[in-house]
Amino acid sequence: MTASASKAELRAAALAKRDALSDEQRADAAQALAKRKLPFEIAPGMVVSGYSPIRSEIDPAPLMRKLAEAGARLALPAVMARGKSLAFRAWSPNDRLMLGPLGILEPSPAAAELIPDIMLVPLAAFDAAGHRIGYGAGHYDFTLEHLRKAKAIVAVGAAFAVQQIKAVPAQPHDVALDFVLTEKKVFDFRS
């Protein structure tokens, strides 16, 4: 990959590496992520939003169960519309989910809306500066920018180690992550 590679090219290359992982490697990585010591504290009642994995994303469910055991209240995002902030609805691992407008599993619209303290963020690729490449719709960038006007939110990327790239061509509207958790390492970008 050249330094001038576009986000689309970088996304495609990172997703190809992610897609090449076996189901067993993906499951082992999700368990390793859940067993890792977290670089932030979970206070009882703190709201942590996860996500319903699509395609070959790392599954945050084992980590979310661990966070719930530590006293966190869980939420999952619901897509409202392009250019609008995601909504976060209360969720527990035994809740039934429904297909949202983008074909992603979401809690029922009847579930209570919560504002996360910690947001687990899916991604296609990330770099050592905390920049991420998503899927191009900008949902998480817009949501973080919007919600952080009201309160501090810790943004934590969840990824496989193979998704790390040399550099993301970040743009002014891109919101950097505070951490990335992989099965091999914790990246802390706060300093």
Instruction: Tell me if residue 106 falls in helix, strand or coil.
Output: strand
Task: Compute the distance between CA of residue 101 and CA of residue 82 in angstroms, rounded to an integer.
Answer: 11
Q: Residues near 54 by Cβ (< 8 Å), separated by ≥ 6? A: 103, 104, 122
Contact criterion met (CB below 8 Å) for 29 and 61: no
Among 3.40.50.10420, 3.40.50.720, 3.50.50.60, 3.30.413.10, name the CATH number for the domain at 7-188: 3.40.50.10420
Predicted pLDDT at 2: 47
**Where is 99: in which H helix or E strand?**
strand 98-99
| 8 pLDDT more than 50 | yes
Query: pLDDT (tens digit, 9 = 90+) per residue, 130-186?
Result: 999 998 778 898 899 999 999 999 999 999 999 999 999 988 878 899 999 999 999
CA distance to 44, 93, 136, 165, 187, per residue, from 2 (Å): 46, 42, 20, 11, 24
